[in-house]
Amino acid sequence: MKIALAQLNYHIGDFTGNLARITHAVAEAGKQGANLVVFSELSICGYPPLDLLERKEFIDACVSHVEMLAEAIDPEMGVLVGGPEPNPGSVGKMLYNSVFFLHGGRIGQVFRKSLLPTYDIFDEYRYFEPNREFEILEFMGRRLAVTICEDLWDEQPFENEYARSRLYTCNPLEELIRLRPHAVINLAASPFSHKKMEAKQSIFTGKAKRYGLPVLYCNQVGAQTELLFEGGSMAVNPSGSVVASLPFFREDSIMVDLDALIRSKPAPDAGKIPERIEAIAGALICGIRDYFGKLGFKTATLGLSGGIDSAVTLALAAEALGPDNLHVLLLPSQYSSDHSVDDSVEMALGLGVKYDILPIEPLFMQFRETLKPLFKNLPEDNAEENIQARIRGALLMALSNKFGNILLNTSNKSETAVGYGTLYGDMSGGLSVLGDVYKTDVYLLARYLNSEKKVIPENIITKPPSAELRPDQKDTDSLPPYEELDKILEAYIEKQLPREKLVALGFEPELANRIITLVNQNEYKRYQTPPILRISSKAFGVGRRLPLVAKY
C-alpha cells in the first residue's frame, strides 16, 4: 500500500485555492501510484480559522468543498483531508475538528479530534467538541489509526516547569491500539518553535518505538499571520527511526510504501533538523513572504538606521520579497553618527534596494519651537527622544500610505519586553519581524545571513547598539548588557519563573526586580504592536494573555 504525504501551504478561507491545491496534489500522487493521500489538519479551510468557525456560511463552504473534493478525485484512491464537521448531536459544541476519508466519490468514515489544546496560541475548545469514540480506518486490507495533531501529544515537554507533562486524562492512541492497527497516521497543524523541533520529532519517534508501529506525520507548512508552520512531515519505522522526511518551510510531498516502511532503514539526512538560527531565519523569511503574498501586498518599507535590528530585518525582507520590492528610508537626526548613514547606504547599495535620506533635524527643531511655550524651560528627557522616533514613524507611514509599501517593524523581543521603544514611533508597522527574537539572537542571525555572502556591513554588527536619540547614547545607559538581559527575560517569559527562582539562578535581586517590573509595566505597549512573527514557545501576542490593569 502506497501512501503519499502532501505537505501544503493553505490560505485560510480560500476554499477555491485550497481545493485546487489539494486536487492537484492528489492527481500528482496518483501518477506515482499512490493508494492513499494524506493532508493536514483543517486543510480544506486552513488552520487556524479562529472565529470564522462561528459563521454558518463558512462551515457550509467547508462541508461543500469536502464533498466537491470527493467527487473530483479518482474514485479508486483514498484521501484523508481535514475540516470542521457540524456536530449532529443536540448537546456540546457546534463542531468537531475532523478528518474525512474520501473514497469512491463520497465521504466514507469520519475521524474526530479527541485532545483539544487550550494553551498558548491554541483555543480549540472554544469551537470544538472532543471526540470520545474511537474506530479504525480499514482500507486495502490495512488497519490505520487516524489521529489529529494533539491526539499524539498527550505527553509533551513544556518550558514552564509549573505545567504538567501530561495535560489530558485521555490517551487516544492507547484507545486505538486496542483495535490492532497496522500503522498510525497523524494529520497536523503544528506551529514552529525554534527550541521544540527535536522534541516534536521525538513525539513521533517515541510513539512508533513504544507501540512497534510505523507512524506517518503530515504537517501544514507556511505562515498564517503570526503563526509559522515548518512542515517537516515524516515517516517513522516501528523501531522509532525517521526513514523519510519532507523539507522545512516549503511545499513538497513524499511517497511511502507502508509494507517497506516496516523494515526500512533511514535514508541519508532523513529527519535532519537544521541548526537553530538557520531554522529561525527560514521561519522569518517564510513569515514575511506569506504575510505579503496572502494579503496581496507586494512592497515594503522600513527605517534603516545603521543598527543591527533594521539591518537584519532588511536582509530577511530582501530574501523574502526581493530587493526590487523594497524602498527604505534613512532618517538621521543631529545625534546620528556619520557611520550609521554610511553603513546604511552601503547595505542598501549592496542589496540593490532603493533608499532615500530624509534628515529629521529640521522637523525636530520645529516641534521643539512649537512646544516651547508648553514645555517652558524644563530639561530635555524622554519626551524629546520620543518626538524624534515619532517623526520617523510619521515619515515612514507617509511613504507607506502614498505608495502602498507596508511598514516592517524592526523592534526585537528584548526591547519589546522591557518597553524600550516608542509607541507610534519605532513600534509602528504592519508586521513585526523580530518581535519574538531576543537581541542576542539578532546578532547570531546577522552572522548567519552573512555566512555565504556579506549582506550586512561588519561595522553594523560590531558597534555598540544605540537608539541615537541623544548625544553619545548607548543601550547600556538604560539596560543591562543584552547577554544578561536576555537570560532574565527568557527565564521570566518563556519559563515563567518567579523572582525568587531568578535570584536563585544567580541574578542580582535588584536587577531581577527591575526587569520584572519593566516587563509587567509595559504590557500596554505590547497591546498596540503589530502582529509578531512567532518563533518561540511564548511570543508576545495571542499566546500570552495578561490583564493590563493587574496589580500582581
Range of the domain at 178: 2-269
**Band of residue 552 on the pLDDT scale cut at 50, 70, 90:** confident
| pLDDT tens profile 237-276 | 999 999 999 999 999 999 999 999 988 888 888 889 999 9
Q: Is the pLDDT of residue 475 over 90?
A: no
- In the chain, the amino acid numbered 118 is T
CATH at residue 315: 3.40.50.620
Same domain, 73 and 96: yes
In this structure, the number of other CB atoms found within 10 A of the CB of residue 29 comes to 26
Q: Are residues 259 and 293 in the same domain?
A: no
CA–centroid distance for 367 within its chain: 39
Average pLDDT of the chain, as a whole number: 95
Q: Which pLDDT belongs to residue 162?
A: 63
pLDDT attached to residue 473: 76
Q: Does one domain contain both 89 and 206?
A: yes
> Mean per-residue pLDDT for 93-116?
97
Note the pTM of the prediction, 2 decimals: 0.95
Q: From residue 481, how far is each of 463, 484, 502, 511 by CA, in Å?
A: 14, 6, 17, 12
What pLDDT does 288 receive? 98
Helix, strand, coil percentages in the chain from 3-state DSSP, rounded to 5: 40, 20, 40
Does one domain contain both 36 and 153?
yes
Which pLDDT value is given to residue 66? 98
Here the cell at position 5 is 504525504
Closest CA to 218 of 180, 244, 182, 181: 244
Does 65 fall in a domain?
yes
Residues 453-471: tens digit of each pLDDT: 999 999 999 998 876 777 7
Within a domain: residue 237? yes
Q: What is the 3-state secondary structure (H, E, C) of 460-511?
A: HHHCCCCCCCCCCCCHHHCCCCHHHHHHHHHHHHCCCCCHHHHHHCCCCHHH
The residues assigned a catalytic role are 41, 113, 149
Whether the pLDDT of residue 199 is over 70: the answer is yes
Pair (309, 238) in one structural domain: no
Question: Are 413 and 438 within 8 A, CB to CB?
Answer: yes
Residues 9 and 133 in one domain: yes
Q: Does residue 79 sit in the same domain as residue 212?
A: yes
376 and 255, same domain (yes or no): no
For position 47, which CATH number holds? Answer: 3.60.110.10
Q: Are residues 241 and 330 in the same domain?
A: no
Same domain, 236 and 295: no
In a domain, 503, yes or no: no
Are residues 212 and 333 located together in one domain of the fold? no
Tell me the Cα Rg of the chain: 26
Given a contact cutoff of 8 angstroms between Cβ atoms, the answer to whether 13 and 45 are in contact is yes
Distance, CA of 206 to CA of 446 (rounded, Å): 35
Strands 106-112, 95-103: parallel, antiparallel or unpaired by DSSP? antiparallel
What is the spatial distance between Cα 225 and Cα 218, in angstroms, rounded to a whole number? 21
Of 167 and 3, more confident: 3
Query: pLDDT band for position 102 (50/70/90)?
Result: very high
* Three-state DSSP string of 129-187: CCCCCCCCEEECCEEEEEEEHHHHCCECCCCCCCCCCECCCCCHHHHHHCCCCCEEEEE
- Among the candidates 441, 476, 511, a domain finishes at 476
536, part of any domain: no
For the chain, how many structural domains are there in total? Answer: 2
* pLDDT tens, position by position, 490-533: 999 999 999 999 999 999 999 999 999 999 999 999 999 999 99
Find residue 223's DSSP bridge partners: 228
Residue 246 lies inside a defined structural domain of this protein: yes
